[in-house]
């Protein structure tokens, strides 16, 4: 996933993980509208939708811009509250077996936006779609926690072998491969959203492209989609908790250029945007407009290890070690980020109470280690960059990504004698280039899907759809498998720490910094939930009278 007030605490993370052992039954979060502020007569919002979505099919999407739109229009068995704890969504309650292997979800009486009843079959159908290898979902692996999920996706099992049973129209039984402490959080993620079986069956190729067939079950429903222009959603009166939804309409202009985004915000045609150009960060902060919060996310570069010279780990490590991350943050990015000297960010608990995964794992390499970088490059056969081939760094269209790329390009040139060209591509083309390994070095970002190191680590298993580097390591794969199968947190975390060390030793990726999200919104916009998992939730949002 890719590129968000509150501080994310270790206590909240522990609560999230421990909550899986209890039967669930919870109420929707109350509105926090303060009595001293009056709601505007017109409850309409305009919020940047960023780039044209690659797809709005929940089982097929994998980007943050898509996730935000889908979260507005869909809901899973659970929904994360403002503290990131899973609450009752379409499932009004659930039971978990004592061994953590079987979940029984009891669905509430609820309807799709077209009035059809939502059934357990809609969830089963959606999950099988996500796992079906014929559909090529890059997020299929998020469903591997379900018994025989991986085997079905790799054509080693049949659909009827999956641990998904519809006991009756309102009861769904899910059997896991192994205890999964964060499964209730996963059921709030788009890959686990239901889709309307009848509608999708009848419009398999284009149901997610037009409002008349984009039938959803969340707080809002699609009114219109002018492709590469704007997407408009309106309140879904068939949503089970429609009484909590204050906004009547949200317009999402699809503006890929973040400078144009900010201009629209300052001119008053946008009420909020998640993207602020690097060159405007200081100005927004001085004007007391900039908002920020910690994010469970890492900004990094991928290396295509199937191409020379990046098939050599010494080259990859040399290019990573020579980066002066602190200077890059202080002089270029300016958002208060933290240098990434490992891959998994902070904010995730470890096995021992009170300790975080990053705290226990520590740093795996030094920032700006010029001596070691030059030695590694020379050992690889390119002393002072001599005979180093011409290579290109790819990034998606953004002035921010461009400035970071230019700064790193300069560091490589000055410190290693390497010349790297830059290439930018619009969002969907860029994603396709990464998936097909049509790059040398590529900018990337990963935002956690749930609060556990696994959401960062399992993407790099050999052949993983999100790996997109060509790299693989059998020992790494084995450690990830151990961590997924064990219900013992100590065993899990030990395996994940060992796996992270292999990843950083072999360096198929180059971590650069841990995100601190910055965004802007008008003062009259209230109760938009900004998550450390990098999405906005508009369910409880409302607009106050402008002063």
Instruction: Give me the mean pLDDT over the 425-442 stretch.
Output: 94
Domain that holds residue 70: 10-270+522-543
**What is the value of pTM for the model shown?**
0.76
Residue 18 is predicted with a pLDDT of 29
Say yes or no to pLDDT of 33 above 90: no
- How far apart CA 398 and CA 143 sit, in angstroms, is 32
pLDDT single digits (tens) 143-201: 999 999 999 999 999 999 999 999 999 999 999 999 998 899 999 999 999 999 999 99
Which residues, 6+ apart, have CB-to-CB distance to 231 below 8 Å?
A: 49, 53, 69, 222, 224, 225, 251, 252, 254
Residue 278 is predicted with a pLDDT of 83
Shared domain for 243 and 327, answered yes or no, is: no
398 occurs within a structural domain: yes
Residue 83 is predicted with a pLDDT of 83
Instruction: Give me the mean pLDDT over the 8-37 stretch.
Output: 38
Shared domain for 107 and 215, answered yes or no, is: yes
Residue 28 is predicted with a pLDDT of 36
Sign for the CA dihedral angle at 186, 188, 191, 193 comes to positive
pLDDT single digits (tens) 254-279: 988 889 999 999 999 999 998 888 88
285 occurs within a structural domain: no
Shared domain for 184 and 316, answered yes or no, is: no
Shared domain for 475 and 534, answered yes or no, is: no
Shared domain for 177 and 209, answered yes or no, is: yes
Using H for helix, E for strand and C for coil, what is the string for 71-95? HHHCCCCEEECCCCCEEECCEEEEE
Question: What's the whole-number average pLDDT of the chain?
Answer: 91
Say yes or no to pLDDT of 531 above 80: yes
254 occurs within a structural domain: yes
Tokens of 235: 């309140």
The verdict on whether omega for the bond into residue 431 sits within 30 degrees of 0, i.e. cis, is no
Tokens of 266: 């300052």
The CATH code of the domain that includes 88 is 3.40.190.10
Instruction: Give me the mean pLDDT over the 2-24 stretch.
Output: 30
CB 297 within 8 A of CB 445: yes
The CATH code of the domain that includes 455 is 3.10.105.10
Cross-strand pairs, 446: 298
- How far apart CA 11 and CA 349 sit, in angstroms, is 9
Q: To which residue do tokens 């902070």 refer?
A: 346
Say yes or no to pLDDT of 118 above 70: yes
Shared domain for 372 and 474, answered yes or no, is: yes
- Confidence band of 213 (pLDDT split at 50, 70, 90): very high
- How far apart CA 521 and CA 536 sit, in angstroms, is 12
Work out the angle between the directed axes of helices 474-485 and 489-506 (0-180°, nearest 10).
160
For residue 197, give the nearest of 210, 209, 211, 215 by alpha carbon. 215
Length of the chain in terms of residues written: 547
| 3-class secondary structure, 339 | strand
65 occurs within a structural domain: yes
Instruction: Give me the mean pLDDT over the 410-427 stretch.
Output: 96
Shared domain for 235 and 321, answered yes or no, is: no
CB 444 within 8 A of CB 416: no
Shared domain for 411 and 426, answered yes or no, is: yes
1 occurs within a structural domain: no
Residue 35 is predicted with a pLDDT of 53
369 occurs within a structural domain: yes
- How far apart CA 405 and CA 430 sit, in angstroms, is 15
What H or E segment, with its residue span, contains residue 183? Answer: helix 183-186
pLDDT single digits (tens) 305-319: 999 999 999 999 999
- Confidence band of 3 (pLDDT split at 50, 70, 90): very low
Choice between 137 and 51, residue whose per-residue pLDDT is larger: 137
79 occurs within a structural domain: yes
- How far apart CA 27 and CA 50 sit, in angstroms, is 32
Shared domain for 94 and 226, answered yes or no, is: yes
Say yes or no to pLDDT of 387 above 50: yes
Number of compact structural domains in the chain:
2
Shared domain for 303 and 164, answered yes or no, is: no
187 occurs within a structural domain: yes
Tokens of 169: 């129209």
Say yes or no to pLDDT of 34 above 70: no
Shared domain for 261 and 401, answered yes or no, is: no
- How far apart CA 384 and CA 373 sit, in angstroms, is 10
Shared domain for 509 and 534, answered yes or no, is: no
- Confidence band of 22 (pLDDT split at 50, 70, 90): very low
């Amino acid at each position: 996933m890719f590129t968000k007030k509150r501080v994310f605490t270790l206590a909240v993370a522990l609560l999230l993980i421990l909550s899986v052992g209890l039967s669930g039954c919870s109420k929707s979060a109350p509105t926090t509208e303060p009595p001293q502020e009056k709601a505007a007569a017109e409850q309409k919002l305009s919020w940047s939708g960023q780039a044209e979505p690659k797809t709005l099919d929940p089982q097929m999407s994998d980007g943050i811009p898509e996730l935000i739109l889908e979260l507005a229009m869909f809901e899973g068995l659970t929904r994360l509250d403002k503290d990131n704890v899973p609450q009752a969504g379409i499932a009004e309650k659930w039971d978990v077996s004592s061994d953590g292997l079987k979940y029984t979800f009891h669905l509430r009486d609820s309807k799709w936006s077209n009035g059809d009843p939502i059934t357990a079959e809609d969830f089963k159908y959606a999950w099988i779609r996500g796992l079906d290898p014929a559909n090529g979902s890059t997020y299929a692996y998020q469903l591997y926690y379900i018994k025989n999920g991986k085997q079905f996706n790799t054509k080693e099992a049949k659909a009827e072998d999956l641990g998904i049973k519809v006991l009756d129209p309102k009861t769904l039984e899910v059997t896991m491969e192994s205890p999964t402490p964060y499964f209730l959080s996963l059921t709030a993620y788009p890959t686990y959203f239901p889709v309307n079986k009848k509608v999708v069956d009848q419009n398999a190729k284009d149901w997610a492209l037009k409002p008349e067939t984009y039938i959803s079950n969340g707080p809002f429903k699609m009114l219109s989609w002018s492709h590469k222009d704007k997407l408009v959603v309106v309140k879904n009166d068939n949503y089970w908790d429609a009484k909590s939804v204050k906004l009547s309409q949200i317009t999402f202009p699809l503006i890929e250029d973040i400078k144009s985004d900010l201009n629209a915000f300052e001119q008053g045609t946008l009420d909020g945007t998640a993207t602020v150009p690097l060159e405007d960060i200081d100005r927004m902060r001085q004007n007391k407009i900039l908002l920020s919060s910690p994010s469970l996310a890492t900004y990094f570069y991928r290396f295509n290890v199937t191409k020379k010279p990046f098939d050599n780990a010494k080259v990859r490590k040399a290019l990573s070690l020579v980066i002066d991350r602190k200077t890059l943050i202080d002089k270029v990015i300016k958002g208060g980020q933290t240098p990434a000297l490992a891959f998994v960010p902070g904010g995730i608990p470890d096995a021992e109470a009170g300790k975080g995964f990053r705290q226990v794992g520590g740093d795996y390499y030094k920032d700006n280690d010029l001596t070691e970088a030059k030695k590694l490059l020379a050992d690889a056969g390119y002393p002072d960059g001599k005979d180093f081939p011409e290579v290109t760094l790819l990034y998606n269209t953004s002035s921010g990504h461009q400035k970071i790329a230019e700064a790193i390009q300069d560091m490589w040139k000055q410190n290693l004698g390497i010349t790297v060209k830059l290439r930018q591509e619009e969002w969907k083309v860029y994603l396709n280039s990464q998936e097909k390994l049509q790059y040398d070095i590529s900018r990337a970002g990963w935002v956690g899907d749930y609060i556990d190191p696994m959401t960062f680590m399992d993407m790099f298993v050999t052949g993983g759809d999100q790996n997109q580097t060509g790299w693989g390591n059998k020992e790494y794969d084995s450690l990830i498998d151990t961590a997924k199968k064990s219900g013992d947190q100590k065993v899990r975390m030990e395996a994940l720490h060992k796996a992270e060390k292999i990843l950083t030793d072999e360096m198929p990726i180059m971590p650069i910094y841990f995100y601190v999200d910055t965004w802007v919104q008008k003062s009259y916009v209230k109760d938009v939930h900004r998550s450390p998992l990098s999405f906005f939730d508009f369910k409880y949002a409302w607009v106050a009278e402008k002063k």
